[in-house]
Structure 1
Amino acid sequence: MLKKCRLFFLLFLALLLFPAAGGFAGINFPADWEFHKEIQLSTGSGYKALFLDEEVYRHARTDLADLRVADAKGELFPYYIHTGSAAEKLTETLYVTTLADQFKKDGATYLDFKASPLQQNADILGNKLVFSLPAFNFLKNIEVYGSHDGVVWDFLIRDTVYRVDNLIKNQLMLPETKKYGYYRIKIPDNVEKIQLGLQLVHSFREREYENYQRSRVLQSNVRHEDKYTYITLDNSSRLRIKNIHLSINENFQRKFEVYDDNGLQLYSGGLHNLQFKDYNIKNTVIGFAHTPVSAEKITIKINNLDNRPLDISSIRVDYLLDKAVFEHKGSGAYRLYFGNPQAVKPNYEIELYKSHVEREEQNFLTLGALVRREEPEAKQAPFRMDIAFNIVIGAVSLLLVLFLARKLSVKD
């Protein structure tokens, strides 16, 4: 019995040896990368940046873990990725805004608001108005005026605020940032005696974000089935889509849902376009906020109820780019490699201080044409040491098993 236990133990060790040999097989750079692009380098050293293009997104891993920057000798250079969503830095300053005066004239209601500075003698900067609305349904055209002293008023904008069932518009963006301390809201023909509250806001989005956004038309397929319209977008390049713009001119109000290529619901909401005299409400944009969608197939399901399908004349998307940044040290030409599903994201220390690098001057480069790896000729396959090692270990393990089994049977 003891001999049989020893045999089983030896057999177990022999079987462990064989798969362990596979651990010697590694990922070879750049042989295991299917694609690369030449980086069109400019003169001068320092930090270099480049935006990834559609071909990179199409062939690289979704998480971009297989990106590599290398010189002509194959030496790898550290880099980091700065995403388009991270570049969207929105800062909003809220001012305490109180109702200073209220009166009626020629059927219109005038509401005068005073904004308080954040600290004494500080300027008040405003470019956005946020209104508190009545709880009941209404729609009103309003006029907005600004003043430095509450006496002389400058006309700023004419727009609409409303609450219609579940549709709400309570924010207005002013044409530009102003330093007014007073704002007047004129509500013409206010027979309903609508009252509005006001919050002055300074909304600032860094212009850097605009560099990361592009727009284009994707191939799409529209089909109607039962009471639904299905719009399928071909996003085979796996672009990071932020907004989908539907061009629809007719009056409508519909619910929609968005699904990825696995049938997972990504988003739901409402679309509407109601254009009448003194009544204009429009929202035909599907936005994904701070979570861009990169599914290869995106399906929009519109519920038509018993209405005829919508006439959609065009579909356009906004998508975000990613930026790769590395330090050029005068070693010549560079390449961007991608297209290796087995690659692991490198761990570069430049990631630790990229926030500082983002404040440094960066010279933007462009990518060349897509180059695919040349497959080796089948008649002259290279000798693989890892495969030979596996064969030897396997043969030795098999001989050991046969020897021990025979020895045990003889002694028994």
Structure 2
Amino acid sequence: MKRRLRKMNKFSFLLLLLCGPILSASAQKNFKYKAPLQKIDSTGFYRIALQPALVAKAKPDLSDIRIADAKGNFVPYVQAGSLPQKSQKSFVVFPVISARSTADTGTTFTIENKTGLALDRLWIRLQNTAVKRKVNLLGSDDLNQWFAIQEDIPLQEAVQNSEGTYLQSLFFPASNYRYLKIQVNDKNKNPIKFLQAGVYTEYVSAAQAYTPITPVKVVRADSNRMTFVDIQLNDNYQVNRLHLNISAPKYYKRGITVHQFVNNGKELISEAELSSTKTPDLLIAAKSNHLLIEINNGDNPPLSIGEVTAFQSDEYLVSYLEAKQNYRLLAGDSSAVAPEYDLKFFTDSIKDNIPAIKHDAVVKNEGYEVKVTEVKPDRTPLIWAAIVVALGVLLFLTLKMTKEVKKKEGQE
């Protein structure tokens, strides 16, 4: 008996070894697009810069991006915004507006961005916890109307320490909202405890890096004291900054709204102000190929707007790569969820200044299998007919049984 079990275990082990590459190859067929990575000369950690063309093909939270090696196996990575910060003295804590934990809606933690600058990351300090949660980040300028910035950001589990607290950074599209709300998806679960949130002054003083998006097609129209700037892109790019080249008048201050078109509908994503005392940049968080800026001119002449430039805030993955190997990035699986890799527990091993590499042009994944949804005939009438027949048979048997019982009772 033991021999048979051993043979079965060996057989199962061999079967897993054989099926592993097949499963990996099969999984890769779910991704519509791929982009080869630049080859590296030495083994180690690398920052992989995600170009706008690849981010456009991915989900808004980038959860469907994978790194695959030459054998088709997925390679672990972490998003650059998830890396822990080294010990620094210049941490600026934002004032807490409210912190609530209710069983009906979950935990919310609202803070005020006192810097007044656009942020694309936020550091939060939590009480040690080993549970898995995801959070949504929202922004507002008046604490009444809230706008989505990033959804389903995973919270890391606490690493082993004796302090009782840990620090994690949240990475998101650059936004300049005055108030930020962290919304935890822990409805009907025990809440987690937020202690504080803020930024490092070294980060605040550093200029945010952006990558331009091209081409940009702009159509402008002036009507009824309003100016409409229609912006069209050739893909669903992630847009985090719009630069307007305004040449006149010398002094102006105009209220504006920015919309994105999604699923044939117009969605408000930002309310802001253009002023001659500030750089004519709009910091937004959009994922679309069609944007609309509405400028309220009031009684003033329209602004003289020339070129409009779109930018994506720089996005990076960090991964440990082997030298001289062929790697590629995969994207475009709408059903994919963010992977959970062990690498997140070893981010302290990643140095601050690791080399950055880029990927080549994004192309269609020739191995992608189009899933054809089978159109099944409507069998509802047949089902109802079967139910009626079944009820008829059941009624007939019941009546027959009742008659037989009464007949037996009469004979007794």
TM-score of the pair, normalised by structure 1: 0.51
Aligned to 1:251: 250
Q: 1:357 to 1:221 in 2, by over 3 A?
A: farther
Which residue, 267, 270, 274 being the options, matches 2:273? Answer: 270
Aligned to 2:397: 411
**Cα pair 2:244 2:281 within 8 Å, conserved:** yes
Aligned to 1:312: 305
Post-superposition CA distance 1:267-294 (Å, at most 9, x none): 3343333xxxxxxxx3352343xx6444
State the SS of the aligned residue for 1:72.
coil
User: What is the alpha-carbon distance in structure 1 between the residues aligned to residue 280 and residue 389 of structure 2?
Assistant: 74
**Cα pair 1:90 1:206 within 8 Å, conserved:** no
**Cα pair 2:258 2:271 within 8 Å, conserved:** no
Is 2:207 the counterpart of 1:213?
no
Is 2:364 the counterpart of 1:365?
no
Q: 1:284 to 1:41 in 2, by over 3 A?
A: same
How far off is 1:213 after superposition?
A: 2.2
The count of aligned residue pairs is 254
**Cα pair 1:66 1:344 within 8 Å, conserved:** yes
Q: Pairwise mapping of residues 104-253 of structure 1 onto structure 2 (< 5 A)?
A: 204-205=202-203, 212-215=209-212, 218-235=216-233, 236-253=235-252
Post-superposition CA distance 1:204-234 (Å, at most 9, x none): 4488765x42345632221112110011223
**Cα pair 1:231 1:301 within 8 Å, conserved:** yes
Which residue, 305, 312, 315 being the options, matches 1:322? Answer: 315
State the SS of the aligned residue for 1:239.
strand
**Cα pair 2:29 2:368 within 8 Å, conserved:** no
How far off is 1:295 after superposition?
A: 4.1
Post-superposition CA distance 1:103-154 (Å, at most 9, x none): xxxxxxxxxxxxxxxxxxxxxxxxxxxxxxxxxxxxxxxxxxxxxxxxxxxx
User: What is the alpha-carbon distance in structure 1 between the residues aligned to residue 83 and residue 368 of structure 2?
Assistant: 40
Letter of the structure 2 residue corresponding to residue 49 of structure 1: R
Letter of the structure 2 residue corresponding to residue 265 of structure 1: L
User: What is the alpha-carbon distance in structure 2 between the residues aligned to residue 321 and residue 84 of structure 1?
Assistant: 14
User: What is the alpha-carbon distance in structure 2 between the residues aligned to residue 263 and residue 86 of structure 1?
Assistant: 38
User: What is the alpha-carbon distance in structure 2 between the residues aligned to residue 403 and residue 48 of structure 1?
Assistant: 68
Aligned to 1:335: 328
Q: 1:245 to 1:311 in 2, by over 3 A?
A: closer
Is 2:272 the counterpart of 1:286?
no
User: What is the alpha-carbon distance in structure 1 between the residues aligned to residue 72 and residue 219 of structure 2?
Assistant: 43
Letter of the structure 2 residue corresponding to residue 374 of structure 1: E
Q: Which has the larger radius of gyration?
A: 1
User: What is the alpha-carbon distance in structure 2 between the residues aligned to residue 377 and residue 286 of structure 1?
Assistant: 42
How far off is 1:331 after superposition?
A: 8.2
User: What is the alpha-carbon distance in structure 1 between the residues aligned to residue 83 and residue 244 of structure 2?
Assistant: 19
**Cα pair 1:215 1:319 within 8 Å, conserved:** yes
User: What is the alpha-carbon distance in structure 2 between the residues aligned to residue 250 and residue 360 of structure 1?
Assistant: 45
**Cα pair 1:248 1:284 within 8 Å, conserved:** no
**Cα pair 1:245 1:316 within 8 Å, conserved:** yes
Q: Percent identity?
A: 16
Q: 1:338 to 1:258 in 2, by over 3 A?
A: same
User: What is the alpha-carbon distance in structure 2 between the residues aligned to residue 255 and residue 330 of structure 1?
Assistant: 54
How far off is 1:47 after superposition?
A: 1.0
**Cα pair 1:58 1:238 within 8 Å, conserved:** yes
**Cα pair 1:245 1:317 within 8 Å, conserved:** no
**Cα pair 2:30 2:369 within 8 Å, conserved:** no
How far off is 1:334 after superposition?
A: 1.0
How far off is 1:371 after superposition?
A: 2.3
**Cα pair 1:71 1:331 within 8 Å, conserved:** no
Q: Pairwise mapping of residues 22-171 of structure 1 onto structure 2 (< 5 A)?
A: 28-83=26-81
Letter of the structure 2 residue corresponding to residue 371 of structure 1: V
**Cα pair 2:259 2:270 within 8 Å, conserved:** no
Letter of the structure 1 residue corresponding to residue 37 of structure 2: I
Q: 1:65 to 1:76 in 2, by over 3 A?
A: same
User: What is the alpha-carbon distance in structure 1 between the residues aligned to residue 316 and residue 369 of structure 2?
Assistant: 36
How far off is 1:52 after superposition?
A: 0.6
User: What is the alpha-carbon distance in structure 1 between the residues aligned to residue 232 and residue 84 of structure 2?
Assistant: 25
Q: 1:361 to 1:312 in 2, by over 3 A?
A: closer
**Cα pair 1:240 1:321 within 8 Å, conserved:** no
State the SS of the aligned residue for 1:219.
strand
How far off is 1:303 after superposition?
A: 1.4
How far off is 1:377 after superposition?
A: 10
State the SS of the aligned residue for 1:270.
strand
TM-score of the pair, normalised by structure 2: 0.51
How far off is 1:359 after superposition?
A: 2.3
Post-superposition CA distance 1:273-322 (Å, at most 9, x none): 3xxxxxxxx3352343xx64444333221112233322212222443111
Q: 1:410 to 1:251 in 2, by over 3 A?
A: same
Aligned to 2:6: none
How far off is 1:349 after superposition?
A: 2.5
